[in-house]
């Protein structure tokens, strides 16, 4: 029998109240204002960021783990293509990708979620933004990116992977390249998705919305072909800062 004590909510009082259903109009307006404020804050902080490639992955892999080293190499190679590397800003896979960018003089960005444990900004960030709301953070992780690299991870990583695929599948995103790295780690996931084709809940063509690979070289070639060549990306145009707004490039 499941111990319900294991599922005690750990979110803020505001988040808990939000789940209780309809509240006063003033309370709902304050919530909307807080969301709006967080979006504006994120847009201003990241206004001069991009083009980027977003790397998703677990916060739990230590530096000694092969997946950490793989993610660090991905960060290096993404930066060599001319992209900024943007991650969730935390430890583990995220830290590794940001670290890889810094290894080769690339730009390293983090969108950090405020959590009771595990999550904290890693030390390889040129710039980061702290968020209270997951959905705001996910929007910002997508807004500036031309490709998504999904490394081994848990619930959060899978959520980000499937949201990207859903938005591309439904035409809400352009057909940005998505790379699922780690064939052994994601083997059961891939077989499950093949089962969805057999059940006709997705089309066979939907499996082509992402590249499934272990190869950094193959992943980088895929991003080059479908992000750089596919969107005709050129050298980033330098944007003018407005000092009265406190902006810095």
- Give mean pLDDT, residues 203-210: 97
Residue whose C-alpha is closest to residue 90's, from 64, 115, 65: 115
Q: Can you say how many angstroms the Cα of residue 107 is from the centroid of all Cα atoms in its chain? A: 16
108, 185 Cβ separation under 8 angstroms: no
Query: 140, 129 in Cβ contact below 8 A?
Result: yes
* 153 burial type by CB count under 10 A (0-12 exposed, 13-18 middle, 19+ buried): buried
What would be the CATH architecture of the domain defined by 46-232? Answer: 3-Layer(aba) Sandwich (3.40)
Higher pLDDT, 16 or 211: 211
Tokens of 4: 């319900």
Per-residue model confidence as pLDDT tens digits over 44-54: 888 888 799 99
Would you list the DSSP string of 20-73? Answer: T----HHHHHHHHHHHHHHHHHHHHHTTT--SEEEEE--S---TTSHHHHHHHH
pLDDT in tens, 51-104: 999 999 999 999 999 999 999 999 999 999 999 999 999 999 999 999 999 999
Query: Which of 101, 51, 103 lies closest to 79, judged by CA?
Result: 101
Instruction: Say whether pLDDT at 7 is over 60.
Output: no
Domain ranges of the chain: 46-232
Nearest to 168 by CA among 192, 148, 195, 197: 148
Residue 27: the pLDDT is: 84
Whole-number pLDDT of residue 150? 98
Structure-token pair, residue 145: 């990116």
Q: What percent of the chain has pLDDT over 90?
A: 66
- DSSP per-residue codes, 95-158: HHHHHHHHHTT--EEEEEE--SSS----TT-SEEEEES-HHHHHHHHHHTEEEEEE-S--HHHH
């Amino acid at each position: 029998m499941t111990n319900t004590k294991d599922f005690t909510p750990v979110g803020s009082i505001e988040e808990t109240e939000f789940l209780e259903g309809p509240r006063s109009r003033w309370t709902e307006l304050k919530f909307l204002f807080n969301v709006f404020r967080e979006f504006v804050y994120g847009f201003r902080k990241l206004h001069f960021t991009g083009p980027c490639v977003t790397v998703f992955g677990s916060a739990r892999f230590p530096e000694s783990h092969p997946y950490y080293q793989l993610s660090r190499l991905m960060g290096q190679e993404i930066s060599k293509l001319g992209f900024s590397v943007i991650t969730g800003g935390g430890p583990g896979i995220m830290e590794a990708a940001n670290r890889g960018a810094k290894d080769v003089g690339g730009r390293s960005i983090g969108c950090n979620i405020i959590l009771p444990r595990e999550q904290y900004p890693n030390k390889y960030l040129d710039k980061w933004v702290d968020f209270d709301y997951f959905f705001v953070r996910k929007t910002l992780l997508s807004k500036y990116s031309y490709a998504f690299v999904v490394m081994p991870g848990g619930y959060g990583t899978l959520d980000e992977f499937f949201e990207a695929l859903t938005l591309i599948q439904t035409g809400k995103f352009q057909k940005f390249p998505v790379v699922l790295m780690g064939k052994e780690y994601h083997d059961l996931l891939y077989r499950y998705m093949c089962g969805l084709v057999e059940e006709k809940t997705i089309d066979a063509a939907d499996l082509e919305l992402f590249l499934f690979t272990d190869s950094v070289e193959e992943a980088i070639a895929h991003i080059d072909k479908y992000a750089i060549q596919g969107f005709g990306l050129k050298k980033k145009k330098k944007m003018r800062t407005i000092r009265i707004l406190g902006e810095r490039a």
